[in-house]
Amino acid sequence: MLKYFFSLLLACFCVKNAQALQPLNIGAIFFENELDLERTFIATVESINAARETNFKLLPLIRRVSETDGSLILQREVCDLIDNSVVAIFGPSSKADSDIVSVICNATGIPHIEFDISQEETGEEKINHQMTLSVFPAQLILSKAYSDIVHSNGWRKFTIVYDADDPKAPTRLQDLLQLRDIHNDVVRVRQFRRGDEYRVMWKSIKGERRVVLDCEPDLLIDLLNSSIPFDLTGQFNNLLLTNLEAHNANLEVLRDNETFALNITAARLKMNGNFYNTNPWQQASLYNLDELPEQPMRTLLHDLLYDAVNLFTNALRNVSYSYQIRPPRVRCDFSEYGRRQPWAMGRYIHRVMLATSGVNNTDYRTSDLQFGEDGQRINFGIEIFEPLDNYGIAFWDTKGQIVPQHVVVSNLKKLRYRVATRIGEPYFMEIPEMVEQNVTGNERYEGYAVDLIKELAERMNFEYIFVPVADQQYGKYDPTTKQWNGIIGEIINNDAHMGICDLTITQARRTAVDFTVPFMQLGVSILAYEQTVEPKALAFLDPFRAEVWIYVLIAIFVISFLFVVSARIAEDEWENPHPCNKDPELLENKWGLFNTFYLTAASIMQAGCDMLPKSAPFRTFTAMWWIIAVIIPNSYTANLAAFLTSSKMVNSITDLKSLVDQNEVKFGTLKGGSTYNFFSESNETVYRLAFEMMKNAEVSAYTKDNKEGVERVLSKAGKYMFLMETTSLEYNIERHCELRMVGEKFGEKHYAIAVPFGAEYRYNLSVNILKLSETGKLFEMKNKWWKNKDGACEKNDDGDSSAMGFAEVRGIFYTLFLGLFAAYFLGICEFLMHVHSRASEEKLRFKEVFVNEMRFVLRIWNNRKPVSCTPTASLSASSRRSSNRTIKSSKKKNSRQSSSSSKELAELASIKVKKNGRVVKEDDV
């Protein structure tokens, strides 16, 4: 019984409180075709009343108007609501072309809450709209949001398309349209009107890869379908939808269309909770309504109207805690007689609403609800999402921050990239066999870049097609046309998704495109012709001219003969042939022609001689010859060193500085390439001087490609040098043995893959390039394409470039071999004559003596030789042989004394006698 008693007591208390709730009228103005909004308004009010969290009860008063009604009708309806003592007025939507509601509310002090987009107010309008508050995001802040999204995507070139009949579109796109005024060449604007032939508009921007589209959701399908024939819906096209209702455009019908493969991103107001994935009309409890037979489409206005009613209710409840709220007693009479003071409590409620913060407040559907002093909503969040599959990508806030969402999306479509490149060894080359067979596609090409893209495609699971640029240029900006050419131009114009070849990262190019991490590091160096002169066999004779050698040889023979004459007239040069015999019968003079020639040659060769003159005249003559013998070898040595140095240094160019310090050898580089820009933009003295010399050359020093530069170096044979990147330089040196690199590399550079700004695949490309580098795959690919398959050139890599090789000194060895041949030829002849003589003397066969002599010759360890070949040879034969040898020896000595006849020598010997230790004639005895 006690339990039932307390239940009855609680029920009576609740009934009493219900009867005590103060009724407050709130008004709303809707157009006749906005029944869904009207139901939302009623449902929201009823849900608030049902919650019983306030000490008042809201009574909705609704007035309907037609789109054709003017401001007078609106004024009448507003005044009717005010006459019914409403404490707030909601609406109308943006279809109203008059601000009469705001003006009347401002005059009467009735709070006015807008839930739809409104025109940007001027200074005078703000004075008359002081009681108006809008929960729709401010247009200028929305404009900033769209601009931030475009910049975060890296769009530098795009087209803005919007409805010319929408007067609010220019304000909503203000920041983007300002870019058009600054960069008219890269930001274009196109307008359309409902019911136009949209294909005309799309045709004017055919091929555009990035489009910002602002239109009503019901026009999206027709607009996008009409753009398909103009290459605007391809796989790598990008579309940004700025209408906050784009999620209601039913774009899912385009998901399975193969021709509709572009990347779409859209913006919508950020919600508290997962409201975009549920239909509130299907959840009747949300609005406290029964399920309707036909569920209306949920729009942003439903949520904003819900927030507007709850915003006012929360402010009213907060005020009711401190003050008793009485219905306003104001009249919509602006004559002097009927004018009354505005409702003071209304202005206070308005200030409370302005101070309300919806940040982290789940009472509201939209997030971050906050207002400025003029009643405009200045804080809100934007969700960037993909409308086809309805998943979020990132969140934008009014601070300009874009925070990505961590979502996992299964993409079954295999990407197909267009890769811009240029033909150039060894990065990208046509296969001759494929060209002859007219093969098209990727199978037609080979090279380092082909292998690199193939590796990346396997790792990242994408398809690709190579697109060689028509102008064969890397990418240079033309200030006249304000356009980029080459590979960079293809990427900027969205005709390619990436660019690869020997493409250098430069500051100018970084302003137009983005780059991955480098896949190759390099520098700049000088390509020169290897001016090697084949050494002559008699190169050791080059320090002296031919006439000098002739004079030296003549001098040797003449001096040798004069030495003989000088020795013969000098008494001190006549000597006793047998020192043990104190009284010789004959004197001999050792300075025959052979000995004097040996003395002369040994002196000039600085070899020394064991025979020296004794007489003063002869010594004086010899000393004078020695002076010449000192000068000649030393002059030869000095000239030989200079000759070797000059032969090794074909020219004196060892680096860039020595190259610019001379005028004989011309040099150049690739026109418009990164090396050209490096010299043209450098402030280094040597680099600037080099650029000026190339610029002012009589014959153009520039080439259209590296191949032309290499051919010019080869054809000029040392009169032209080419400044090029070291990777290409190494490749050409490997295949042309006549080429060499001069000096060290300078100006560090990097090759990388160029991609458009904001390309989402750039990060994956960079990561996989680093993986290829870490695993050594990049090094393997470089060796594959840089090493000459036909065999590398043989380079002399000796440390000392001035060292002489065999080619320079082979003439000396030739002379030695000739001397050895002559010596051994004479020795063999003498040996054979000796064998023949012994065979005759000992009466043996020639073969027997020859064999015995050769056997002894080959026994190099035996230094003793028997006199006779047979042990039984007679002593007389030996004595006779010894006597004959003595006679022969005496004859040889006498023959070397003079060139006179044997008869004169005999007479001279017969008349000479020795007296008192000196040689005198016979008549003097």
Binding residues for L-glutamate: 504, 509, 674-675, 725
H helix runs in 215-343, sequence order? 217-227, 284-287, 300-320
Burial classification of residue 616, based on how many CB atoms lie within 10 Å of its CB (0-12 exposed, 13-18 middle, 19 or more buried): exposed
Question: 80 in helix, strand or coil?
Answer: helix
Side chain identity, residue 756 = P
Cis peptide before 518 (omega within 30 of 0): no
User: Do you know the residue count of the chain?
Assistant: 925
Furthest C-alpha separation in the chain: 192
625-631: long-range contacts, CB 8 A cutoff, minimum separation 24: 625/559, 625/600, 628/555, 628/604, 629/603, 629/604, 630/606
The tokens for 617 are: 């005249």
Annotated binding-site members: 504, 509, 674-675, 725
Task: Compute CA distances 455 → 537, 584, 769, 770, 771, whole Å.
Answer: 55, 103, 9, 12, 11
Question: 40 in helix, strand or coil?
Answer: helix
Burial classification of residue 716, based on how many CB atoms lie within 10 Å of its CB (0-12 exposed, 13-18 middle, 19 or more buried): middle
Burial classification of residue 302, based on how many CB atoms lie within 10 Å of its CB (0-12 exposed, 13-18 middle, 19 or more buried): buried
H helix runs in 52-165, sequence order? 71-83, 100-108, 123-128, 139-152
Q: List all residues 6 or more positions away from 831 whose beta carbon is below 8 Å from its beta carbon.
A: 853
SS3 content of the chain, % helix, strand, coil (to 5): 45, 15, 35
Distance CA 849, CA 867 (A): 12
Instruction: Check if the beta carbon of residue 267 is closer than 8 Å to that of residue 141.
Output: no
Cis peptide before 426 (omega within 30 of 0): yes
**Buried residues in 242-267 as b, exposed as e (16+ CB within 10 A):** bbbbbbbbebeebeeeeebebbbbbb
Burial classification of residue 501, based on how many CB atoms lie within 10 Å of its CB (0-12 exposed, 13-18 middle, 19 or more buried): buried
Looking up tokens 């995507």, which residue turns up?
A: 153
Distance CA 915, CA 925 (A): 8
**Residue 361: CA atoms inside 13 Å, Cβ hemisphere, count?**
15
Question: 568 in helix, strand or coil?
Answer: helix
Distance CA 755, CA 769 (A): 14
Distance CA 408, CA 513 (A): 28
**Buried residues in 448-487 as b, exposed as e (16+ CB within 10 A):** bbbbbbebbbeeeebebebbbbeeebbbbbeeeeeebbbb
In 138-262, DSSP assigns E strands to 158-163, 187-192, 210-214, 238-241
Question: 37 in helix, strand or coil?
Answer: helix
Burial classification of residue 658, based on how many CB atoms lie within 10 Å of its CB (0-12 exposed, 13-18 middle, 19 or more buried): middle
